[in-house]
Every structure is written in structure tokens, then in C-alpha cells.
């Protein structure tokens, strides 16, 4: 059996999720912890890549292999947290069969982009939200929502130099919530291109600033021209917020154990 982990992490100190040479990554930290508790080298497969400095409120990962160490399912999270740094925490673990493939079961994700919209910095949100001192025009930003929602070619909202051939994605929800000095931008989709959410946020900011019109946004989506979309917002405000599994995925796993 494999173990499906639900975890969260603060990405400030990491060069993203995926293992890279000579740098700290979340995947490497999880592999170290799993190897310690199962007393054998363990592979970890994540539900998605995240970039350097990006955080996760909810992230799913699978412990791909482990030895014969007998650890109750209920104890795995606590045991792994013993060996994980304080900015990564596993808070749920369930057992799944060996043929469970996390990336095949993910049907969509929701990202959150957090903005601190106040003339003065908030030290408690340093590296955890975009500090934006200029007053945002929330209504101007919300007028862009209908252009993004739906199935579109999002080439204009992908980092330059990306080699992804299929750039069509379906955004199922985009909403902007403003409360006091905090602005939260939520984007849900069946998949995301490299830097897609950060470019969408940058475009919304430039619409607030009056630099991008609705007509230009529409043209960006129609033509795929990156130059027509907005800037790439910084990584520190971005969180993988929720992961949507196939609703039958875990039911299948329970049935297979019955």
C-alpha cells in the first residue's frame, strides 16, 4: 500500500516542490522524513509542481514505496512531522493501493493570491502576501472575470519560453474577495500553465491601474499575445489552496480494501 498525504507548507525557503540539485525543495524534505520513518528510501510523488516561493494551504502527495516498517495509518502524519521542518506539516494520511496515481486522479486545483492593500507594510505578511500600497479598483478587476472564465487558449498568460504545446485550459471559477485591507483572488481550473495565475493577477492589477482595458484583455485571449497581458505578479502571494480529486477516487480505494 501507498500513503496519500495531505500537507501544507510555507514556500519561502524552498525552490518549489520538485527536487532540484543543490537547493532546498519540499519534495526532498518529504523524502527525507518518509525515509526516516519507514527506514528505507522512499519516493514521493506530488499532485503538482509549485514554483520557488509559492505556498500551499492544501497539497497532496503520495509516499510511493516503503519498507516493511509497520506504522499505523493514523500515526504517519505525526511521525513524518517529527522529521519535517516547521514550515512543512502533514495533517492527514490515508492508505491507497499500489496502483493509485495521484496525477491521474486530480481533476482540478484552486489557487489563492493574497494581496495586502494598505499604504504601510504588514510585517506579519512578509513573504506571504503581495504588498500593494496603491488603492485597488476592485470593481474594475471584477469586470475582467467573464473574459477569463470558461475554456480558452491561455497562451497569453503563460511565461515566455514555455514549451507546452496544448495551452487550452478551462477556468471554472474566478472570484475576488475584499475585506478591509486584505484582497483574495481565487482561481480554479482543470489545469494551469507556467505562471498562469501570477500573470492573471498581474493583468487584474494593471486593469485596476487603468493600464489594460477590457478590449485589450479580450484581444490577449483571442490572439495569445503575451505582450497584451499584464505583468507576472510576485510568487510570495500565491498559494495552492485546494486540490480537486476525482470524486470516485477514494471510494475506489476504500472498496479495494473492503
Would you please indicate which residues are annotated as catalytic (active-site) residues?
Answer: 51
Q: Find residue 46's DSSP bridge partners.
A: 61
User: Would you say 6 and 58 are in contact if contact means Cβ atoms under 8 Å apart?
Assistant: yes
Pairing, β 106-116 against β 130-131: parallel
Would you state the cell numbers that stand for residue 157, as one nine-digit string? 498568460
C-alpha neighbours within 13 Å on the C-beta side of residue 13:
11
Coil/strand/helix, residue 174: strand
Cα–chain-centroid distance for residue 126? 19
On whether the CB atoms of residues 37 and 84 are closer than 8 A, the answer is no
Instruction: Return the residue matching grid coordinates 476525482.
Output: 246
Strands 238-245 and 55-63: parallel
Using CA atoms, how far residue 241 sits from 59, 114, 214, in Å, is 8, 11, 28
Amino acid at each position: 500500500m501507498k500513503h496519500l498525504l495531505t500537507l501544507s507548507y510555507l514556500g519561502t525557503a524552498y525552490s518549489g516542490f520538485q527536487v532540484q540539485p543543490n537547493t532546498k525543495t519540499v519534495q526532498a524534505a518529504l523524502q527525507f522524513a518518509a525515509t526516516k520513518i519507514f527506514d528505507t528510501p522512499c519516493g514521493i510523488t506530488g499532485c503538482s509542481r509549485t514554483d520557488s516561493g509559492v505556498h500551499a494551504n492544501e497539497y497532496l502527495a503520495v509516499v510511493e514505496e516503503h519498507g516493511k516498517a509497520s506504522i499505523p495509518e493514523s500515526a504517519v502524519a505525526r511521525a513524518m512531522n517529527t522529521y519535517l521542518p516547521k514550515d512543512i506539516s502533514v495533517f492527514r494520511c490515508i492508505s491507497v493501493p499500489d496502483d493509485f496515481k495521484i496525477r491521474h486522479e486530480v481533476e482540478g486545483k484552486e489557487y489563492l493570491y493574497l494581496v495586502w492593500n494598505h499604504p504601510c507594510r504588514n510585517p506579519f505578511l512578509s513573504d506571504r502576501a503581495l504588498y500593494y500600497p496603491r488603492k485597488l479598483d476592485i470593481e474594475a478587476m471584477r469586470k475582467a472575470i467573464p473574459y477569463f472564465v470558461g475554456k480558452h487558449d491561455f497562451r497569453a498568460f503563460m511565461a515566455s519560453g514555455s514549451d507546452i504545446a496544448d495551452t487550452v485550459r478551462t477556468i471554472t471559477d474566478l472570484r475576488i474577495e475584499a475585506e478591509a485591507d486584505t484582497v483574495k483572488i481565487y482561481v480554479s481550473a482543470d489545469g494551469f500553465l507556467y505562471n498562469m495565475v501570477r500573470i492573471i493577477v498581474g493583468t487584474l492589477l494593471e486593469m485596476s491601474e487603468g493600464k489594460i482595458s477590457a478590449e485589450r484583455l479580450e484581444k490577449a485571449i483571442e490572439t495569445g499575445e503575451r505582450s497584451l497581458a499584464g505583468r507576472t505578479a510576485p510568487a510570495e502571494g500565491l498559494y495552492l489552496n485546494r486540490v480537486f480529486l476525482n470524486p470516485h477516487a477514494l471510494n475506489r480505494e476504500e472498496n479495494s480494501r473492503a
